[in-house]
């Protein structure tokens, strides 16, 4: 869905339109979930945080000013994801409760997700985020640069590099 339509639904949602919210959810869920997953690496955590994101969207929609709605939503997702990661890194576990690696105990079915597996295998976290935001979320490099607070040239270069790495890995896997 293009930005104009999405913003139009956001305006309707501001007036309490649940149907508009449902449309917004369907249009943005993949981008939001994939981005949170690229930060947390854990499916269950990403699912939980994704739902929290939309709860926050419903709670705070009145504070959204006209502008880029999808960027607003993804910023909420980012804040929640990074807050979780910070909290998780401060937790101390006893021997009985071994920590899951970043990647979690709930793993994506690798056989049916070869590209996502490749993303996790070969890309650095920053590269994975940029690729996922652009390819899955549909965000422009300029928007990603604002979100991750990096120069747009860096984002573009990182993206191209990451795609090249992914491609090389997938082609090598296909040869096997």
Q: By the criterion CB under 8 A, which residues form the site for another protein?
A: 3-5, 7-8, 11, 13-18, 21-22, 25, 29-30, 33-34, 43, 47, 50-51, 54-55, 58-62, 64-68, 71-72, 108, 112-116, 119, 132, 135-136, 140-142, 145-146, 151-156, 163, 166-167, 170-171, 174
CB of 69 to another protein, least distance (A): 9
By C-beta, is 55 or 99 nearer to another protein? 55
Tokens describing residue 125: 């976290």
Q: Give the number of other CB atoms < 10 A from CB of residue 26.
A: 10
**Is the Cα dihedral 143, 146, 148, 152 positive or negative?**
positive
**Token match 């980012």: residue?**
78
Helix, strand, coil distribution of the chain in percent, nearest 5: 75, 0, 25
Closest approach of another protein to the CB of residue 35, in Å: 10
Q: Which is nearer to another protein, 99 or 125 (CB)?
A: 125
Smallest separation (angstroms) from another protein to the CB of 165? 11
Nearer residue to another protein within complex by CB, 25 or 100:
25
Give whichever of 89 and 175 is closer to another protein, judged by the CB atom.
175
Q: Measured from the CB of residue 93, what is the shortest distance to another protein in angstroms? A: 27
Toward another protein, which CB reaches closer, 99 or 114?
Answer: 114
Token readout for 41 is 């690496």
Residues contacting residue 34 through CB under 8 Å, at least 6 positions apart: 132, 136, 137
Distance (Å, whole) CA 73 – CA 32: 8
Q: How many residues does the chain have?
A: 176
* Nearest-angstrom CA–CA distance, 110 and 19: 35
């Amino acid at each position: 869905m293009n930005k104009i339509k999405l913003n139009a639904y956001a305006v309707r949602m501001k007036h309490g339109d649940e149907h508009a919210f449902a449309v917004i959810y369907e249009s943005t869920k993949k981008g939001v979930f994939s981005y949170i997953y690229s930060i947390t690496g854990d499916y269950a955590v990403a699912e939980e945080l994704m739902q929290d994101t939309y709860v926050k969207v419903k709670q705070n929609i009145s504070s959204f000013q006209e502008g880029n709605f999808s960027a607003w939503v993804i910023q909420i997702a980012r804040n929640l994801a990074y807050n979780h990661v910070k909290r998780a890194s401060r937790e101390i576990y006893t021997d009985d409760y071994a920590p899951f690696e970043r990647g979690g105990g709930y793993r994506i079915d690798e056989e049916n997700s070869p590209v996502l597996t490749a993303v996790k295998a070969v890309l650095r976290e920053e590269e994975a985020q940029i690729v996922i935001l652009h390819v899955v979320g549909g965000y422009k490099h300029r928007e990603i640069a604002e979100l991750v607070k990096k120069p747009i040239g860096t984002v573009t270069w990182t993206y191209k590099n990451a795609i090249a790495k992914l491609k090389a890995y997938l082609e090598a896997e296909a040869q096997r």
